[in-house]
Structure 1
Amino acid sequence: MKKIVLIFVILLFFVCAYFGFNAAAKILPGSDNSQTNTQTDIAIPSSQRNYLLIHVTDNTVEEPELVSVWVAFVYYSTPPQLMFMPLYPSYDPKIQTNLSQSFQFTTDKNISTKFIKQIEQAYNIKTSGYVLSDNLGVSYSNLWLTGQETQVSTGVAMTDEEKHIIRVNGQTAYQQLCLLFLSGASNSYFSSINWSLLLPDHFSTNLPFETIALTTDQIIRATSITQCDVLSSE
């Protein structure tokens, strides 16, 4: 399995630390996943949104396979703040099985509501939408971020070692992304995006255009982003 750099286009969202660490208790080592379905849901303030970042193998086939899911907690403050956390693949056998089995598309090629609800129940979070990309889309995004061509060829993780590879490389990728934001160089990334290579086959979302435009604009215009964290301890 080749090293992945899970950089999604427009997956650049910001988060409130308090709510991020509440959800992190479900994910980081030492957390008690057996209680995830019994705890009270986390309320989302009007200025916060939580977005799923979904990576599949090939979005042009009838049934793409799920590679990974991260969550971006977005807090629309001034300046905006963000946190990334891995949700899938999971080392918890129950969560891994439930998410794997519930992942499917609707007839109009949207992610099923059942899958979204499984994630929300497993990690005790509320989500506001998702962004999806496949191996080719991730490869393009990596090119625009680093200037280097990298062919991403990734399948479903079956063993803990394969899960670790996916998670650790996602962790590294989002840490690199945070460094870009913290340095104030996000505009160089956005200006490199060639949407004609992504749409319609390698990028999809259920978010309205206004949400994407608002988030992108806030990232580019932010004078000093002081918080961008990756909650992962691989």
Structure 2
Amino acid sequence: MRKLILLLSILAFLACLAAGIFIAQKSLESASNIRNTAEISRPASPHQQNILLIHIDQLEKNQPKLISVWGLILYFPEPKIILQPVYPSPIGPESFPLSAFKITTDKTLNPRFIQQVSLQTQMAWDNYILMDHQALSFFAAELTSDEVFSPSDLTDGVIAVERIYLSRLCEQFVALEHTAFQKIHWTHIIPDHWRSNLPFDEAILHWEKLTSPQSPIKCEVFGE
């Protein structure tokens, strides 16, 4: 009788131990998934704004093709503008969350894409701007009187080609300073070719903060 009770006790202990291990493993997996999908967060800073500049082929498509992603970083105290390529990356396409890139039916960006890019770059992004070919060409025509590259130019590498045009745009924005926003006919590209979760009046405030200091704006465009 005692042996039977002892055997049952051992079996009950082993069952509890197995259940405990299973629950602990599931808890660890759940915590790991939360860490992997959580967006990198940082306190809102009055001195810096991080914006993803996303170039697509045609916004009117149900699912536009992703051409490039640039990090647009605004430093207000200096003042300074930095454009840093994010995609295509020299590290390789396998490190970029391309599968998470989705445009919703109301032409907004899938939030998971921002989260995944934040994890990949280890940097929090405050806002995004979606621009298609036509919007980028319009900017170039309005500010530099140049046309944006054609698809045949992409054989030279999209980042290398875009870097040239973004550098010209940057130079013009810096030269025009206060009048840059007034020079652009925004209704020609918004909302058909430009979408953003950054309110337009807030974008104007950012530009005013950049152009208000006595020192001139610096603009750097990195790339290949």
1:171 deviates by 1.7
1:179: which partner in 2?
A: 171
Residue 113 of structure 2: SS of its match in structure 1? Answer: helix
Contact 1:57 1:154 in 2 (8 A): no
The code of the aligned residue for 1:201 comes to D
The code of the aligned residue for 1:104 comes to K
Matches within 5 A, 1:104-115: 104-115=102-113
Larger CA Rg, structure 1 vs 2: 2
Matches within 5 A, 1:11-160: 43=42, 46=45, 47-77=47-77, 79-91=78-90, 92-96=92-96, 98-99=97-98, 101-148=99-146, 150=147, 152-154=149-151
Structure with bigger helix share is 2
Highest RCO, 1 vs 2 (Cα 8 Å, sep ≥ 6): 1
1:227: which partner in 2?
A: 218
CA distance in 1, matches of 2:172, 2:215: 12
Cα gap change, 1:151/1:172 in structure 2, threshold over 3 Å: closer, same or farther?
closer
The number of equivalent residue pairs is: 184
What percent identity do the matched residue pairs reach?
29
Kindly provide the CA deviation profile for residues 94-136 of structure 1, in whole angstroms up to 9, marking residues without a partner as x: 224x32x111012322110111111111111100001111011
CA distance in 2, matches of 1:95, 1:87: 11
Cα gap change, 1:177/1:151 in structure 2, threshold over 3 Å: closer, same or farther?
closer
Cα gap change, 1:115/1:188 in structure 2, threshold over 3 Å: closer, same or farther?
same
CA distance in 2, matches of 1:139, 1:71: 19
Contact 1:135 1:152 in 2 (8 A): no
CA distance in 2, matches of 1:181, 1:139: 15
Contact 1:134 1:203 in 2 (8 A): yes
1:195 deviates by 1.8
Contact 2:163 2:221 in 1 (8 A): yes
CA distance in 2, matches of 1:177, 1:75: 18
Task: Report the RMSD for the aligned CA atoms in angstroms.
Answer: 2.6
Cα gap change, 1:217/1:226 in structure 2, threshold over 3 Å: closer, same or farther?
closer
Q: Does 1:218 align with 2:209?
A: yes
Normalised to the residue count of structure 2, the TM-score between the two structures is 0.71
Gaps of 5+ in 2: 1-35
CA distance in 2, matches of 1:191, 1:210: 13
1:152 deviates by 4.8
The code of the aligned residue for 2:88 comes to P
Normalised to the residue count of structure 1, the TM-score between the two structures is 0.69
Gaps of 5+ in 1: 1-36
CA distance in 2, matches of 1:166, 1:131: 18
Matches within 5 A, 1:154-169: 154=151, 162=155, 165-169=157-161
